[in-house]
Amino acid sequence: MAVLACWALAGAASPAGAQDIEPRAYSNAPVGVNFLIAGYAQTRGGLSFDSALPASNPDLTTSSAVVAYVRVLDIAGKSAKFDVVAPVTDLSGSVEFDGEQLRRDISGLADPKFRLSVNFLGAPALSLKEFAGFEQDLIVGASLQVSAPAGQYDGSRIVNLGTNRWSFKPELGVSKALGRLTLEGTAAVTLFTDNDDFYQGKSRSQDPLYSLQAHVIYSFRSGVWGALDANYFAGGRTTVDDELRNDLQQNWRVGATLAFPVNVRNSVKLYGSSGVSARTGNSFDLLGIAWQYRWGGGL
């Protein structure tokens, strides 16, 4: 039960998009278990939904209520999971565009995200009874996350909650347990479709955005675990009406996560991250809290 209690999703309640920091994204859990996550996150600085926002000196604050659902699956004998995340966000602040300061205050739905991940090495599909004897060694997995253009969007505005385009993020992850210490790393690329209704009727395309994550996680006997996290992403240069913009990204973020069980069905997660350096000035600070409830699979 302590092992199951410390399996808390980190990232399923984060609204940060391409700049997500997600420890324990590739771990094992009993097949058939469901997770309901409700969270709150606040960002200050740049726009977390679109790291290539074509504006300067952003002074934006977002407050997001996030709901997520996760189910653990058995795919060809391998543990897998499907999750969906839907953030509702309040945004306020200003940016500069072509020498003009633009103010924006808006509330509504941001783009929802759907993801399927499979651990194809080191994390077999297990029942709750079988999972009690599971000890992690090396886990290798992969995932595909899709972001749908369902968020609130106004083509006459620079700053929006939605992006009016699809994005696809395939990712490869590795997790190695060393006693109570776990080392994790992921590599991903985010691919974007075009936004044909960008600011004032323009067309906007974006190059792939590449990202790397690293996590050092320590798990206590009580089921509490903490992580130190880092994320680097690069690329993502945009083109607006055939004009290539000078907005190549080379950004670093660092963060920390603390998760602790309340009981076998409930746990709480605290997380935060901050930009260390950002070539395009789109850094932001993030703080969040999430509550997780789990059921099914014999619990």
95-115 pLDDT, tens digit per residue, is 887 778 889 999 999 999 999
Structural domain range at position 162: 2-295
pLDDT range class, residue 284, cuts 50, 70, 90: confident
Average pLDDT, the chain: 89
User: CA-CA distance, 242 to 246, in Å (whole number)?
Assistant: 13
In 3D space, the residue among 152, 148, 167 whose CA is nearest the CA of residue 104 turns out to be 152
- How much is the pLDDT for 102? 84
> What's the mean pLDDT in 251-258?
92
CATH (domain of 53)? 2.40.128.130
22-45 pLDDT, tens digit per residue, is 899 999 999 999 999 999 999 998
- Count structural domains, the chain: 1
**pLDDT at residue 51 greater than cutoff 80:** no
pLDDT range class, residue 268, cuts 50, 70, 90: very high
182-235 pLDDT, tens digit per residue, is 999 999 999 999 999 998 889 999 999 999 999 999 999 888 999 999 999 999
Q: Which helix (H) or strand (E) holds 236?
A: none
pLDDT range class, residue 10, cuts 50, 70, 90: very low
Task: Phi first, then psi: give them for residue 131, nearest 5 degrees.
Answer: -65, -25
Largest CA distance in the chain: 63
**pLDDT at residue 15 greater than cutoff 80:** no
- How much is the pLDDT for 181? 96
Asked whether the beta carbons of 132 and 2 are under 8 A apart, the reply is: no
Higher pLDDT among residues 51 and 17, named by residue: 51
164-178 pLDDT, tens digit per residue, is 999 999 999 999 999
**pLDDT at residue 12 greater than cutoff 90:** no
Higher pLDDT among residues 18 and 256, named by residue: 256
User: What pTM value is reported for the model?
Assistant: 0.92
**296 φψ region: left (φ > 0), alpha (ψ -120 to 50), beta (else):** left
- How much is the pLDDT for 11? 44
